[in-house]
A = this chain, B = another copy of it.
């Protein structure tokens, strides 16, 4: 994992209400992660694969074009997914984390790692 990528993932993990972040290649390979010990990166990779499969159906059958980003909100937290050059930057947050702030930081992080992924 490049130094730049480590730095960006660590900075996402440091946001209030964010448990951690990972960069998953679109076929499920974990390219980098800054996750707490109780989160299995493979579980995050499996989720990315399922989201991309759902998006592929949307692309093919609903003429929605290529995947850009997704959010899953649950009772106790939310997970954000953003496409970065064939990879998916994934962020795991608590329910309380503010979507506006997280989306801004996620956009900035995507830009920052574009040249190193």
Measured CB to CB, the residues of A under 8 A from B are: 19, 38-40, 43-44, 46-47, 50-51, 53-55, 57-59, 61-79, 92
Contact = CB atoms under 8 A, between A and B. Distances in A.
A63 B44 CA distance: 12
B61 A43 contact: yes
Given A64-B74, A65-B76, A53 B55 contact: no
- Please tell me how many copies of the chain the complex holds: 2
A40 B63 CA distance: 12
A74 B66 contact: yes
Nearest to A75: B65
A92 B63 CA distance: 10
Contact of A51 (B38, B39, B68, B72): B72
